Amino acid sequence: MYKLFFLLMMSLVSAQSYRFVYEYKMKPDTAKKDSVIVDYMNLDTDGKKSYFYNSAKHERDSAYAVTKDFKDLFQAKSYDQNLSYIIQKDYATGKMDFYDNFKTVNILIPETESPKWKIEKEFKKINGMNCQKATADYKGRTWEAWFSKEYPVNDGPYKFSGLPGLIIRLEDAESDHVFNLIQIKKINALSVVLPKSPKHITRAEYKQAMANYSFTNEDIEGMDVSKQDNKVSIRLKDGYVARFGADEMKKVRKLDEAITKRLKRTDNSIERN
């Protein structure tokens, strides 16, 4: 069980910026429901906007932006390729944008649909916080959320917001996607950098591109071989670093097919429709 490290000493209504860290458990393969990926996602907010993104990717990109040293990319923590996106929410306008990249193209998908919540008369404590239950059908799944009014931020993980408080726990009916708030901390300012010159596409076009993904040598930005841990790291032009065992690579007859298989996105997307 995780404990929340509370660093909040004043109301979130102030001009301070805060980071809410969620543990994210995802079942990426519909045929293997016992296979679970655990990763960590940040929700940063200054009371006007918020950004939801992968913690390890942000740390890696931030380090590389300063040093411009490829070793910072190859030696950084791993993260799941499905979690390379950034979601920006503007509280005043209600605008929500989904950013990702595909090969060398930065992608932007404007989101026009928000969850329509039903607030239930059920209450319980989660990690010491008083929470209330809410449910919603959203993007082909039924969701159960537990929110707390102790923090006046009407936001939560992924595209979920609009409740009278902060979402502490969020789970779909099949438990394929589960978010748990595990840490809250104060930050100096929002530091997320959005992709430049993104191409506007639809969600359907995005899903089709990911489903039809195929790897070629032209997708490689650089490679690194570590004799210490016997690993081969391949950095793609979209910024993702794929790691393979050196012995595993020696056995591969068709490299492109093997890497394509490894880099295929989930078939159990958080959005079904």
113-169 per-position pLDDT tens digit: 999 999 999 999 998 999 999 999 999 999 999 999 998 799 999 999 999 999 999
Among 53-57, 102-106, 157-161, 218-222, the range scoring the smallest mean pLDDT is: 218-222
For residue 72, the model assigns a pLDDT of: 67
pLDDT tens across 225-246, in order?
877 778 788 888 888 888 878 7
Order the strands of the 96-102 sheet from edge to edge: 118-126, 129-138, 141-148, 166-172, 177-187, 17-26, 37-45, 49-54, 86-90, 96-102, 105-111, 199-200
Higher pLDDT, 174 or 14: 174
pLDDT tier, 3 (very low <50, low <70, confident <90, very high otherwise): very low
For residue 231, the model assigns a pLDDT of: 79
pTM: 0.89
Tokens coding 8: 């909040």
Torsion, CA 84, CA 241, CA 57, CA 262, rounded to 10: 40
- Residue 15 reports pLDDT greater than 80: no
What's the burial of 40, exposed, middle or buried (CB within 10 Å: 0-12/13-18/19+)? middle
For residue 42, the model assigns a pLDDT of: 98
In contact, 161 and 155? CB cutoff 8 Å: yes
Tokens coding 122: 């059920």
Among 47-61, 106-120, 174-188, 206-220, the range scoring the smallest mean pLDDT is: 206-220
Tokens coding 161: 């917001």
Cα distance between residue 72 and residue 63, in whole Å = 7
pLDDT tens across 201-215, in order?
999 999 999 888 888
In contact, 147 and 132? CB cutoff 8 Å: yes
For the chain, how many helices (H) and strands (E)?
5, 15
Q: What is the DSSP string of 178-200?
A: EEEEEEEEEESS----PPSSPEE
Q: How confident is the prediction for the chain on average, in pLDDT?
A: 87
For residue 5, the model assigns a pLDDT of: 37
